[in-house]
Amino acid sequence: MQIEGGHSKHALALPDLSGKAILQVIPDLAAGGAERTTVEVAEAIVQAGGRALVASSGGRLESELRDVGGELFRNETLPSKNPIRIFRNNLWLQKLIKHQDVSLIHARSRAPAWSAYWASRGTQKPFVTTYHGAYNANTAIKRWYNSVMARGDIVIANSTFIAEHVALTYPDAANKIIAIPRGVDLEAFQENAISQERREAIYESWYGGIKPDKPVFLLPGRLTGWKGQKIAIEAFIQLANDNEKDWILILAGDDQGRAEYTSELRTLINNANLTDNIKLVGHCSDIPAAMITSNFVLAPSQEPEAFGRVAAEAGALSIPTIVTDLGGQKETVINGQTGLRTKVGDVAALSRAIRQLLHMSLEERQEMGKKAASHVSSNFSKANLQQATLSVYANVFQSQLDDAQV
């Protein structure tokens, strides 16, 4: 297992991919970490002289993919887990690979990865995977289904935590694993890059145009139990029960059809008489502005995050965070220095951590934020992600040449 560290604060030199077409395969282009990384890698491929192709059912990030020079090949059935559909998508991908003269296939999710894996074998093209999550493998069938992500010629893990998890779960893949942490766009996530107009748009949307006069905690992420919105609300209810209500909690994200969960959150808020303090604002398309108009960021995930992008992005903006002490967030947050980590499922511990941040002096908050920014810029930049990923491609191509000369 190899670990790719990143320490440059500036754009790094990219390998030459002239004449190469890289096909990334992903179910959709929603606003998640895997989807965002797909666009960032597409940007780098184009900058390196290659063609950046993406097979996907599309989504919110389509326009951003086009803006960086990527090309979308739409297939509405790529998210399907139906075995027949997966096989048919393999045939569709084989045609695409041949027609577009694809040089390498990079799969980022299990169902389409099976299609991409068979298509790579059918066309004799290199196959790279990125392991984006600690997939549930509590049955033999699930373990086999997940195994496609460990079948790449190179297996990229998006954190050291995931690299170790893959090596433990699939020992035969251990010598093919390279850890490349997700990256933060340091240019986008810096205070002077976020205009007053963008900040005012957040104030208008969330607070009726009035800048809040209380400390704001932001919990960004789709509304789902494992992202921890419920435990966050319960922690703030504990504060309120202690007559500490000088705060606002923003839950920014849509429920993607989980109406019952959203209703449960609203009931908790209403029953605690905290509708003025806790707001569900729906999907947010400007996370940098959302973060810079907040004082603290929360990511109390109830299951291991593969990486922990929320904490890294907040850290880039010098904003202290509270995260759960598991998974990749152990890497993005140094407990007590760049933020705080709390035990998963422990409402009282989360409430104490929130209170600790609230009672910090301005100087203490600023010092924690400064350390967070330094940690992120040294280890989790988009430039490092792009350079390391394209180096994987270049190494695969060089191995092909070496094998051909033997």
Closest CA to 35 of 112, 98, 108: 108
- Fold of domain 191-379: Rossmann fold (3.40.50)
Task: State pTM to two decimals.
Answer: 0.82
Check residue 10 and give its pLDDT.
45
pLDDT at 179 over 50: yes
Q: 307-328: per-residue pLDDT in tens? A: 888 999 999 999 999 999 999 9
Indicate if 191-379 has the same CATH topology as 2-183+381-405: yes
For domain 2-183+381-405, the question of CATH label 2.70.70.10 is answered with no
Task: Encode pLDDT of 209-242 as tens digits.
Answer: 999 999 999 999 999 999 999 999 999 999 999 9
pLDDT digits (tens, 9 = 90+) for 20-68: 999 999 999 987 789 999 999 999 999 999 999 999 999 999 999 999 9
Instruction: Write the pLDDT tens digit of every residue in 93-147.
Output: 999 999 999 999 999 999 999 999 999 999 999 999 999 888 877 899 999 999 9
Give domain limits for the chain: 2-183+381-405, 191-379
